């Protein structure tokens, strides 16, 4: 990886609409990218970040949905990022739920999105080991949201059309923005 600082890409950046490529083998470069992504996520007060959001089209995400709570409770360590290479949902619950979502690439934008309430998923960790797990609630929602990014899908694409239409003015302002340095 070169020494260029990663930037969180904003709504108008075409990389957010690209489908990320699978990672064939986890290398030290991927480990460094993932660690930088985690620092960016925490620095931006987020709970998840996908490689597309920092301008890279590789299938890497980082998730930590409880770090705010752990830090408030002074639980040590407060930050426990889950690094996922080539993540994929393997099973979805029949039950969906709706919740408001936001995104570091769409600052100030929030909206209700329906998603499966629980999932089973798999990924490769930073040591190159396969992992299979299950998640529900916010963690399941966050993993689905970040995998969507890897497929060029933004949460606003999953909103009801009438709800998305209400955001038209805010989205137009974001189209005029550039990358945000963190």
**CATH label of the domain that carries residue 75:** 3.90.45.10
Instruction: Return the ∠ at Cα 57 (arms to 144 and 132), rounded to 5°.
Output: 40
* Residues with Cβ within 8 Å of residue 147, at least 6 apart in sequence: 50, 61, 87, 88, 89, 121
Q: Would residue 2 count as lying in a domain?
A: no
Task: Specify the pTM.
Answer: 0.90
- Residue 48 CA to residue 61 CA, distance in Å, equals 7
User: For 37, what's the count of Cα atoms within 13 Å in the CB-facing half-sphere?
Assistant: 31
Calpha distance 59→147 (Å, rounded): 8
pLDDT tens column, 44-62: 889 999 999 999 999 999 9
φ and ψ at 133, to 5 degrees? -155, 175
Residue 180 scores a pLDDT above 60? no
Domain that holds residue 144: 7-181
Active site residue 110: no
For residue 20, being part of any structural domain is answered with yes
Residue 140 is assigned to a structural domain of this protein: yes
Backbone φ and ψ for 87, nearest 5 degrees, come out as: -70, 150
How many domains does the chain fold into? 1
Q: Is residue 119 part of a domain?
A: yes
143-165 pLDDT, tens per residue?
999 999 999 999 999 999 999 99
Q: Is residue 1 part of a domain?
A: no
Q: Is residue 50 part of a domain?
A: yes
Q: Is residue 147 part of a domain?
A: yes
88, 110, 146, 160: the catalytic one is: 146
């Amino acid at each position: 990886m070169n020494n260029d600082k990663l930037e969180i890409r904003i709504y108008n950046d075409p990389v957010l609409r690209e489908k990320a490529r699978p990672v064939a083998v986890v290398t030290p470069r991927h480990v460094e990218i993932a660690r930088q992504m985690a620092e960016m996520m925490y620095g931006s007060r987020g709970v998840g970040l996908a490689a597309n959001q920092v301008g890279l089209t590789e299938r890497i995400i980082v998730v930590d949905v409880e770090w705010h709570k752990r830090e408030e409770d002074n639980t040590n360590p407060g930050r426990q990022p889950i690094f996922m290479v080539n993540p994929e949902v393997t099973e979805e619950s029949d039950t969906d739920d709706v919740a408001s979502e936001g995104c570091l690439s769409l600052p100030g934008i929030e909206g209700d999105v329906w998603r499966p309430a629980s999932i089973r998923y798999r990924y490769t960790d930073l040591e190159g080991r396969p992992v299979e797990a299950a998640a529900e609630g916010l963690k399941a929602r966050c993993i689905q949201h970040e995998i969507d990014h890897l497929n060029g899908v933004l949460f606003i694409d999953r909103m009801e059309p009438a709800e998305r239409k209400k955001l038209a003015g805010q989205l137009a302002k974001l189209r005029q923005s550039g990358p945000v340095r963190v």
